[in-house]
Amino acid sequence: MITSSQIRAARALIKWSAQKLADEAGIGISTVQRMEKAEGVPTGSIKNLDLIQKTLENAGVEFIPENGGGVGVRLQR
């Protein structure tokens, strides 16, 4: 599962607003904002979290899992 900080960082990498992410994922802006405010893995609908992750991945973001150095994001090659 991705974390709220990964969502915020991913949006910053691709220069998307929260509204743009909501529009692209087909979810409400309040859902994106709520998930970004959470600590760690956002609570709520797993379906919405998956939609956010897949939308950001389709936009070129790669999510880096916990590997001893912490979670993160980067742009795909």
Both tokens of residue 11? 């949006």
Distance of CA 16 to the CA centre of its chain: 11
63-75 burial: b if 16+ Cβ within 10 Å, else e: beeeeeeebbbee
Residue 41 has what pLDDT? 93
Q: Which CATH superfamily is domain 4-75 in?
A: lambda repressor-like DNA-binding domains (1.10.260.40)
Query: How far apart are the C-alpha atoms of 71 and 3, rounded to whole Å?
Result: 8
Domain ranges of the chain: 4-75
Residue pLDDT, tens place only, 18-70:
999 999 999 999 999 999 999 999 988 999 999 999 999 999 999 998 877 78
SS3 label, residue 50: helix
What is this structure's pTM?
Answer: 0.92
> Integer distance in angstroms from the first to the last C-alpha of the chain?
22
